[in-house]
A and B are shown apart, each in its own frame.
Chain A
Amino acid sequence: MRYIILCLFSLFCFALYGQQSASLISGEFSNLTMEQFVRQIENKTNYHFYYDPGQFDSLQINISVKEQPLQKVLELAFANSAFHFAIDRYNNVFVTKDKSIHTDLPLGFFNKIGDQKDSSDNNTTDADLSANNKNVTTASLENKLYEIGSKSNENKPGNATLAGYIRDDKTGEPLPGVSIQLEENPSVGIATDQFGFFSLTLPKGKYTLNIQSRGKLDTRRHIMLYSDGKLNIELHDHIISLREVVISSRKTANVRNVQLGVERLNIENIKQVPTVFGEADVLKAILTLPGVKSVGEASTGFNVRGGATDQNLIQFNGTTIYNPSHFFGFFSAFNPEIVKDVQLYKSSIPAKYGGRLSSVLDVTSREGNKKEFTGSAGIGPVTSRFNIEGPIFKDSSSSFVFGGRATYANWLLKLLPHQYEKSKASFYDFTLHTTHDLNKKNSIYLTAYVSNDHFNLNNDTAYGYNNINGSLQWKHTFNNKLNSLVTTGYDFYQYNISSDANKLNAYKLKFNIGQANLKTDFNYYMNSKHLIEFGISSIYYKLNPGSYQPLGSASLVRPDVIPSEQGLESAVYLGDRYSITQAFSVTYAVRYSYFQFFGPQTVYTYAQGLPREEANRTSTKEFNKADVIKKYSGPEYRFAVRYAITPDFSIKAGYNSLRQYIHMLSNTTAIAPTDIWKLSDMNIKPQEGDQVSFGLYKNFKSNTIETSVEVYYKRMKHYLDYKSGAILVLNHNIETDVVNTKGKAYGLEVTIRKTAGKLNGWIGYTYSRTLLKLDDPIAGEQINGGMYYPSNYDKPHDLTIAGNIKISHRFSISGNIVYSTGRPITLPVARYYYAGAQRVYYSERNAFRIPDNFRMDMSMNIEGNHKVHQKTHNSWTIGLYNMTARKNPYSIYFITENGVIKGYKLSIFGAIIPFVNFNIRF
């Protein structure tokens, strides 16, 4: 109801014509649609109608009236229907379905506002930013003029800066990515940063700010800018989607944003993507986006625009997650109850990020509720999860959110043949995120994340891995124009395998990687045309590439420890977002990264141009602790330009280059849990890559349909591949087993996205190729004769349709349809007899493809009742994964069994997988 009233105000602005008149209506209205009926009435009278045509599809009007007032006519016309109408004193008629409108304001409504205005001068004036005892105005009224700064400056011309936070009205959670634009000049605007912060520098004067955010009610604020000042804005949830009142004219973020290849999914979108066990999964949702692929259904590794799986920087609140999966890749490491949204940068990677070639996946957690304690829990067939959140101090300055997730997957293993009944698999993860506003200028954010996976095969081989991450962020606002974010943290990943099946061979194998980070990012909102971003960062890596130790006193295992590796990756960057004209804007940035590989280490050099083998070793050199063994450095360029042909149509182009100093060693098709990481060193060069991209963006139907076409071409070099029979773990001379590969990737991505309405969703089509080439002289062997060959994840055609239909407020259905070309695979070309059995002979790599992949999933979300005053709200998610029960091949292989060759097709899911999840909020 509140919403409708608010909207009436906006309607007043342009519907103020006509006079009080009681014209009487006569006529025969038979078999008329609403539209025809309204046109006839409007022609005969000076009434003006407001309604949503979509709701009146099925209405037919059959009345006959003689000299009746409109009130009577409409009563007849809408008798026995769900439609209500209201006529105000300006001869405006509002026809609504199910709900009626009051055209008069409650008594005293304007008086109240008047009262506030009297006292608001003190409240809104906030020129002295250092005055911490004063609260920043929280502007919650749309039709009120907020005065910013001190009036005494009113007469001096010039610019003033308005800054503040945009938050959720219920939870106090900051809202990132909210667009703020001037009504007077829509090209002037800004989006809030990850902390919900915005800063706008404008000539002094009176403005109307249009504020829009997905999932929130659009709103506006009237301001009178006298001098620098602050304004916090709270947004309401967009709960009721009454289409007749949605103001949707300026949701143009995709068209307006200068960046290319940026995908943003909030948790609502993520929850709409059905997954195999019914639990919302960040990474599985990412895989539905154009340009993102994986080798198969059970792998968590993903490939962005032809990049390798280790070329994605996975960030969780500023920490780096090395292994983002649980339980053989069936779950992603992020608890869906904690995640707020994810952002995937496929092309225009902001200069503040670096260190990986392909993409940045930025996962952000929710901030806790600053006003009251709430929580939620979910129960699924394999996992359960919960979270609790609330204020830490009573003054709404701080909050925490804590979530956990655990599995009870052992029953799944019980379904295995009885020989495996002693096997166990489990995982858990915990996330804690706290925020605290020390004062208006300083906020502290703390994130801690722990995950653990454990798996035991028949009680004799145990396997486990952990992520441990912590970060502390300090946001400092120097003034309205300049703020900084200091992030420090430590990220750790380790795995271990132990086996005591045979006492003499019992061992324990360990690997770990740790990185300590410190970075500072500055945003300088110079004026409404320039946003300068600059910063520095450093990452100190320490890897223990492998330790192999005896387990138990009887073990004969010879301890073998690969010496640790240490390196320091530093970078500085400077960039500018420059809006040259309303239609034309650019971002340009340069990042300079610098990598040092430190001792202690024994380093070998190899003869130039010869196969890199121990036989071709030319010298050995010992380095002491902290000696710099090798330095690599280079600039990285990030450039994007946008030209808006019309407000809802723009073209963009971009160029990006990146460098990567850490490599994942893995010669398996999918990311295996035993993959290890390696720093660039004397013999292993950093990976380098660059990408050009071009895109067209056009919105239709009041920006509720967003379409885009992007093309890209990408080059990569010094990407690691492996020699035949390479040993990656416990290899003291790994450089003799790896070779440099070149890669090129190109593609076309088409997206159509419907963002509003009962039916929303997206269709994404991608044509892409990824080709690799190995012609490195150090290899000693060449793959496919040094010619380009398709990579494991080269799937040229890829179509995803993901949609959600809201049938009622309590019931919605989501579905997705996925089609892609089968991935390339190396198949045998001949057969021979050796060692008592038939054996296959392989030739060209990836010359064949497995059959195409097609899958359809569906889920239903059923909400409990929506009564406000109940202790808990609950909902059920029920769905079917792989509805067509198609056995999508994961791989095809040929194996010698009992002396003969057998061919098999392996599918991960060969049946319809039903799932159910129960969620509760309290």
Chain B
Amino acid sequence: MKKRLMLYGILLTILIAGCRDMYDIPNEVKNLNLLVIEGFLNSNGPTSIKLSRTVNLRDTAQIKPEINAIVKVEGENSTSYTLTGNAKGEYNYPFLPLIDNIKYRLRIKTATGKEYLSDFVPVQKSPAIDSVNWQRKESGLETGIQIYVNTHDPQNQTKYYRWEYDETWEFHSPFSSSFEYRNDSMLPRTDPIKIFICWKSESSTSVLLGSSAKLSQDVISLAPITVIPSGSIKITVRYSILIKQYALTKEAYNYWEILKKNTEQVGTLFDPQPSHLFANIHCVTSPDEEVLGYISAGSTSEKRLFITRNEVEPWNYFHGCITDTIANKPAFLKAAFGSKILVPTEAIYGPFGSIAAYVGAIEPCVDCTTIGTNVKPSFW
């Protein structure tokens, strides 16, 4: 229902979109410092539980990790596994041997001695992803390449799905560089390809949910995952997306849906009041303390899709880079290239074969490692 109302709300919002202004985040200092627990007990891969704390709205910290806690996974059958933490507040276990019909829970003891315990959660098996496909989308909120996922559960048992994705794309520097300025002198570049071909990866930032609860079969068809805007750098050479699928219980689905509504689906004329999120983790030592997060367990399934530029032509990517020409005089070269204001790309030769000038551009236009990495991913 929410989705239908959203569609209506979207149009209304568009109608009046000219009247949307930025608004400063309120400077509310509450120091709530609530524990945030995010993670998934993975039965077919590494498990990672992230512990962090809420921060004040204008706090500069991106994330405030909770370190030095003791994090254990406990089974109804009295099995127990202790996760190992790191400085980022991540508590890892390489491979949890979870048994299908046993329920598991999480026990956390923080450095300050507070103890938290989650509800027992079942191990939900995710069915295989049938396919990941894309379509060019010319109308709607965003235009570009819409990525979809399709899946189904022949047992008609899963019904509630959540997805995450990792995008990776190969991209090239707008200009190749044959020279480098080193030790106050211009030298031929030894391995120009290293700053010309790069890869960049990003992970999903929004909550992606799907449900077949209203359908007669457990089929998810064309669930939208993300849109690559037309002309984006992501498909200038080759693009890949890996979709990870999680199966959820109805309660977990409700939690994720409220989280999405509260934080991603606001701004229409018909916004409901923010809903309370009922975590499935509770503080044992002080039961009134609120905890954020929902723990699930199960297997994941994955599928990767590649898109190359020739599949989406015309793509109309515009890099926006310009070049500058610097006369071949040591002082000029030092001023321009010595402090890396510009990076040289090529030389301009004079009438007698001498170099009259060098062409340069700013670093991100020449050296792709300033944006991504030149290490080719293993799956490429």
Interface residues of A (CB under 8 A from B): 296, 298-299, 328, 412-413, 416-423, 455, 457-458, 461, 463, 497, 499, 502, 504-505, 507, 509, 548, 556-558, 560, 667-670, 672-674, 722, 724-725, 727-730, 781, 792, 826-843, 845-846, 848, 887, 890-896, 898-899, 901-911
Contacts and interface: CB of A to CB of B under 8 A. Distances in A.
A896 B205 contact: yes
B1 A727 contact: yes
Given A504-B221, A672-B270, A829 B30 contact: yes
A509 B4 contact: yes
A842 B267 CA distance: 15
B262 to A, nearest CB: 7
A668 B15 CA distance: 19
A509 to B, nearest CB: 7
Given A724-B276, A904-B22, 13 more contacts: A412-B15, A423-B11, A458-B139, A667-B272, A672-B8, A725-B261, A829-B28, A832-B53, A894-B263, A896-B263, A903-B23, A907-B19, A909-B16
Nearest to B254: A725
Given A835-B207, A895-B263, A906 B14 contact: no
Contacts of B212: 556
A420 B62 contact: no
Contact of B215 (A417, A558, A827): A558
Given A423-B11, A557-B215, A896 B206 contact: yes
A848 B30 CA distance: 14
Main secondary structure of the interface of B (DSSP, over half): loop
16 contacts: A416-B11, A418-B139, A463-B8, A556-B217, A557-B214, A667-B273, A826-B273, A828-B26, A836-B205, A891-B269, A892-B23, A894-B266, A896-B264, A898-B205, A905-B22, A908-B16
A842 B32 CA distance: 11
B143 interface: yes
Closest 8 CB pairs of A and B: A910-B19, A899-B205, A724-B275, A668-B270, A907-B19, A903-B23, A729-B1, A504-B221
Contacts of A673: 8
A782 B8 CA distance: 31
A710 B146 CA distance: 59
Given A509-B4, A725-B258, A893-B271, A833 B266 contact: no
Nearest to A842: B274
Contacts of A422: 139
B74 interface: no
B1 A296 contact: no
Contacts of B206: 835-837, 896
B56 interface: yes
B4 A461 contact: yes
Contact of A887 (B21, B54, B143): B21
Given A674-B4, A893-B266, A781 B54 contact: no
B187 interface: no
Nearest to B32: A830
B164 interface: yes
B38 A834 contact: yes
A608 to B, nearest CB: 23
A670 B270 contact: yes
B139 to A, nearest CB: 4
Contacts of B359: none
Interface residues of B, number: 77
B57 A831 contact: yes
Contact of B292 (A832, A898, A903): A832
B211 to A, nearest CB: 10
B37 to A, nearest CB: 9
Contacts of B164: 835-836
A724 B140 CA distance: 30
Contacts of A830: 28, 30, 32, 34, 54-57
Contacts of B70: none
Given A892-B23, A903-B25, A832 B278 contact: no
A236 B171 CA distance: 83
A243 B242 CA distance: 83
B266 A725 contact: no
A558 B273 CA distance: 30
Contact of A417 (B14, B28, B257): B14
A899 B62 CA distance: 11
A904 B16 CA distance: 13
Contacts of B216: 556-558
B370 interface: no
Contacts of B138: 419
B20 A669 contact: no
Nearest to B266: A893
B277 to A, nearest CB: 7
Contact of B263 (A502, A839, A848): A839
A458 B56 CA distance: 41
B204 A836 contact: yes
Nearest to B276: A724
A674 B205 contact: no
Contact of A674 (B1, B21, B32, B141): B1
Contact of B57 (A504, A829, A904, A911): A829
Contacts of B7: 457, 461, 463, 499
Name the residue in A298, A839, A848, A911 with the highest tally of chain B Cβ atoms < 10 Å from its Cβ.
Answer: A839
Contact of B24 (A840, A895, A898, A903): A903
B222 interface: yes
Name the residue in A419, A502, A832 with the highest tally of chain B Cβ atoms < 10 Å from its Cβ.
Answer: A832
B232 to A, nearest CB: 13
Interface string B113-157: 000000000000000000000000011110100000000000000
B272 A669 contact: yes
A253 B63 CA distance: 67
Nearest to B165: A836
B263 A840 contact: yes
Interface in B1-51: 1, 4-5, 7-8, 10-16, 18-26, 28, 30, 32, 34, 36, 38
Given A560-B214, A672-B5, A841-B292, A504 B258 contact: no
Contact of B19 (A418, A505, A887): A887
